[in-house]
Amino acid sequence: MEPVHAIAPPPITLAAFPEAGWAVQRLEQADSTQRIAADLPAWAAVVAAHQTGGRGQRERTFTSDVGGLYLTAVVPFDGNAAAWRGFALAIGRGALLALTELGVEDLRLRWPNDLMIGPRKVGGILVEQGGPRTLLVGIGINITNRPWLEDHTLRYSAGRLLDHCDRALTGPGQLIEPVLDGIRRAHEEFAATRLAGLVPELNPCWGPRRHVWLEAVAETDLPETEGAFAGIDASGQVLIARPDGSLAAIPEHHIQRLVEVE
């Protein structure tokens, strides 16, 4: 494991998170909490005040300026990748519930891994395998930071929790315990019910139906599809309500991009 060029205070004691029960290490700066957590045991977590190499799904850059929560939690995994397909969706719901309980208003999920308020993205989720028996749950949430000042392309697409909460938010320290607790609850629920059992609770988290455009991966013969996002079915297929009234069920691995159309 490469050395981390960051100032690392001692790990937070478990007593700081009595309900969540995690061993947490906080860093002032890291290239990626996902990389640092890769070799840690289950129920450990890494939090950085700033990431220089934050990333999201499909290796996209995740702007990680000071004032956001950048966290990777390590959870147990039984080695059955097929059974854990859709776990990132459960994490999204767990994070949404935790933030809503804190007073954040109007949160919704956007398939497959975004936390949204209206048309603006306030957070992202990345789930990857760590060791043979662990999964890495990466979460980045904009709280008081302004990522659009670092990346001007985010000016009209990114948001932050500070502007949508009925209580004072001062920074990521307030969110660490609730988010970790949400991750643990999501892990327990998913292990018990898998995706099929979670779909009835998950589908309301998308919010009102929104018009979307779907681009299929090149290897499929699926045409471009446009319509209203109608959630997912028990197997994780994305449901698109077409203008003619028909409902298309599209496997996740056939989807290159799904874009909300304003």
What is the C-alpha separation between 8 and 173, in angstroms, rounded? 16
Q: Each residue of 154-170: pLDDT tens digit?
A: 888 999 999 988 778 88
% of residues, the chain, pLDDT over 70 = 90
Q: Each residue of 47-97: pLDDT tens digit?
A: 999 999 887 676 677 878 899 999 999 999 999 999 999 999 999 999 999
Higher pLDDT, 171 or 111: 111
What are the backbone angles phi and psi of residue 58, rounded to the nearest 5°?
A: 55, 35
pTM for this model (two decimals) = 0.89
Per CATH, the architecture of 209-260 is what?
Roll (2.30)
For residue 252, count CB atoms less than 10 angstroms from its CB and return exposed for 0-12, middle for 13-18, buried for 19 or more. Answer: middle
- Determine which helix (DSSP H) or strand (DSSP E) holds 180, and give its type and residue range: helix 176-202
What residue spans define the domains of the chain?
A: 14-205, 209-260
Fold of the CATH domain 14-205: BirA Bifunctional Protein; domain 2 (3.30.930)
Name the E strands within 38-112.
44-48, 69-76, 107-110
CA angle 184, 207, 58 (to 5 degrees): 60
